[in-house]
Every structure is written in C-alpha cells, then in structure tokens.
C-alpha cells in the first residue's frame, strides 16, 4: 500500500508506514537532522527535523510522524526556518561544535549566527581520559542520546551510561561518576561510532590530534596494537 501526499506543494507517494523524513529523502527533499540515526530509536529530541503540517497547531518532527494520505507538509516554511535557526544558534552558544562539520554547514545554510546569544552559559567540561579505548569530551556533547541508546537496549545491553543532572545541566554520566573501567562498559565502541560531534573519540585519534606520533602512541600502549608482521 502506498500513500500519496504533498510535500512543499509537490505530490509524492511513498509506502505506507514511512516517516515524513524517509519520504523526503526518497524524493530528494532535504530535511536536516541531528539526533536521528538509522540504528537507534528515534526520540524526536533535537527538533531540527520539524516541519509544518497543515491542520496541526505545532510543528511536527519528521523523523517520527508518518506519511498519510493527502497530508500537506511544508519543510521550509517561515516557522520551520525560525525554529531550526534558533535551535542551531542556541547549540552554538552552548557547546563546542568544532568537531561537528555537518552542523556547521547547517548553520551556514540557515544563516545561523554563532554569537547570537551573548553572555550565554556554555556547557564546559574537562576531557575524561579514563580508559584505553576512547575519551569523553562533554564540552562537545549535544545530548543526542545515541551513545546512551546503543549502550542500552538499542544495541549492546551494557547499560554503562545514563544521565547526570537535568535540563540545561544534563550530561551523559556513569554511576556516581565512576571511570569507564569501573562500569559495566564492555569497550564495544558502538557509542563512539554513533557520536556525531567528536564528544566521544577513539583514544588514538585523540592522541594524534594532541600531536603525538604513532610510535609514541604505541609506547603508551593505548589504542590499536600493531599487528606483528
């Protein structure tokens, strides 16, 4: 069964059960996303993918709203653009986006001003370097939840990480701030793989960025071991 509806005035048709985001992508319409990842449950929390749906009072997240017959969807209306631009500006005033090129591109596209909010409190945090596999730099974390999701029932069932604090003060954390080796972490690396902003980074990559040479890193005994010839 397929459903036909309108996106930006264009009639499109997709298989029943597809989300507006999937429908847009199949039809070459760009809807930006941040928290969305194909391998994790969609929580609709970044709200960057919001679109205007006729008949709905509020903007709707395209990552979870399903396409339905005769729906009229605007993916770039004035309201949509204001929301996206403001969210991006707030992100830039909150965290370090230097390792998030996709978001920086998005900011250019929406004309988002990184210095829009003067005297804004930022989420700053020391780099946590407590295990041989990866580092955690929560100054770069935008709370997409992907790491916590793959660590839990979206993939690994390790349940090593959860949240500290709430609201603006939320941060990904472990049980009473224990180091990674003291948690149930199995060092599977999936969290690093889904991190969109370099908040989680392989130790080796981090050390190379710090200016160490591969040989120096081998001596440190961290990162990937060289296979013997």
Partner 1 sequence: MSEINLISLQAKLPKFIPLGRSGLLPALHATQKVYGWLPQEVVAEIAKALKVPLADVHGVIEFYSLFYNEPVGRKIIRVCTDQACALKGADGILRHLCSHHGLEAGQTTPDLSLTIEASPCLGLCEQAPAALVDDKTETNIDLETGAYNLGRPQSIVAGSLRLLTANCGEGTTSLGKYGKYTAFLKALEMTPDSVVAEIKASGLVGRGGAAFPTGVKWEGAAKADGDQKYVVCNADESEPGTFKDRVLLLDDPNRLIEGMLIAGYAIGSDKGFIYLRGEYPYILPVLEEALAEARMAGLLGKNILNSGFSFDIEVRLGAGAYICGEETALFESIEGKRGFPRVKPPFPTTNGLFDKPTVINNVETFFNVPFIIEKGAAEYRKIGTEKSPGSKLFCVSGDVAQPGVYEVPFGITLRELLKMAGGVVRNDIPQFHNSTEDVVRNGIPQDPALAGYHPAPQLQAVLFGGAAGAFATSAHLDVRLTFEDLRAAGLPLGSGVVMVFNETRDLRDALKRLGKFFAHESCGKCYPCQMGTQRQMEILDRVARGETLPDDALRLQDVGWTMTDASLCGLGQTAASAVLSAMKLWPELFVEGQRSKVG
Say whether residue 152 binds partner 1 (CB under 8 A). yes
* Beta pairing, strands 72-74 & 2-7: parallel
Residues 6+ apart with CB under 8 A from 116: 89, 92, 93
What secondary structure letter does DSSP report for 7?
Answer: E
Cα–Cα separations (whole angstroms), residue 130 to 120, 136, 179: 30, 9, 6
Smallest gap from residue 111 Cβ to partner 1 (A): 13
What secondary structure letter does DSSP report for 225?
Answer: P
Contact 185, 160 (CB under 8 A): yes
Say whether residue 173 binds partner 1 (CB under 8 A). yes
Neighbours of 62 (CB within 10 A): 30
Smallest gap from residue 210 Cβ to partner 1 (A): 28
How many chain residues interact with partner 1 (CB under 8 A)? 50
Say whether residue 53 binds partner 1 (CB under 8 A). no
Point out which span in 4-12, 158-166, 193-201, 202-210 binds partner 1 (CB under 8 A). Answer: 158-166
Smallest gap from residue 150 Cβ to partner 1 (A): 14
Say whether residue 174 binds partner 1 (CB under 8 A). yes
Q: Binding partner 1 by CB under 8 A: which of 7, 67, 161, 194? A: 161
Smallest gap from residue 170 Cβ to partner 1 (A): 4
Can you tell me the distance from the alpha carbon of 54 to that of 16, in angstroms, rounded to the nearest whole number? 19
Say whether residue 131 binds partner 1 (CB under 8 A). no
Q: Binding partner 1 by CB under 8 A: which of 97, 143, 147, 207? A: 143
Can you tell me the distance from the alpha carbon of 24 to that of 30, in angstroms, rounded to the nearest whole number? 7
Contact 57, 35 (CB under 8 A): no
Q: Binding partner 1 by CB under 8 A: which of 43, 74, 125, 131? A: 43
| Three-class SS state of 91 | helix
Query: Which residues contact partner 1 by CB under 8 A?
Result: 34, 43-48, 50, 58-59, 61, 64, 79, 82-83, 85-87, 89-91, 93-94, 116-121, 142-143, 152, 159-170, 173-176, 183-184
């Amino acid at each position: 069964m397929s459903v036909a509806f309108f996106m930006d005035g264009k009639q499109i048709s997709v298989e029943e059960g597809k989300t507006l985001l999937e429908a847009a992508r199949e039809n070459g319409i760009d809807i930006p996303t941040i928290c969305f990842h194909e391998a994790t449950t969609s929580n609709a929390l970044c709200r960057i993918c919001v679109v205007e749906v006729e008949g709905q009072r509020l903007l709707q997240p395209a990552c979870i709203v399903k396409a339905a017959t005769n729906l009229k969807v605007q993916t770039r209306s004035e309201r949509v653009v204001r929301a996206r631009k403001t969210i991006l500006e707030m992100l830039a005033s909150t965290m370090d986006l230097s390792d998030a090129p996709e978001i920086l591109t998005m900011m250019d596209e929406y004309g988002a001003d990184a210095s829009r909010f003067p005297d804004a409190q930022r989420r700053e945090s020391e780099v946590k370097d407590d295990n041989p596999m990866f580092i955690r730099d929560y100054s770069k974390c935008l709370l997409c939840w992907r790491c916590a999701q793959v660590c839990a029932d979206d993939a690994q069932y390790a349940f090593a990480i959860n949240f500290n604090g709430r609201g603006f003060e939320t941060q990904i954390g472990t049980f009473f701030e224990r180091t990674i080796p003291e948690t149930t972490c199995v060092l599977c690396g999936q969290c690093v793989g889904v991190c969109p902003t370099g908040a989680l980074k392989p130790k080796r990559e981090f050390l190379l960025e710090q200016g160490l040479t591969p040989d120096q890193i081998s001596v440190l005994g961290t990162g990937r071991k060289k296979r013997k010839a």
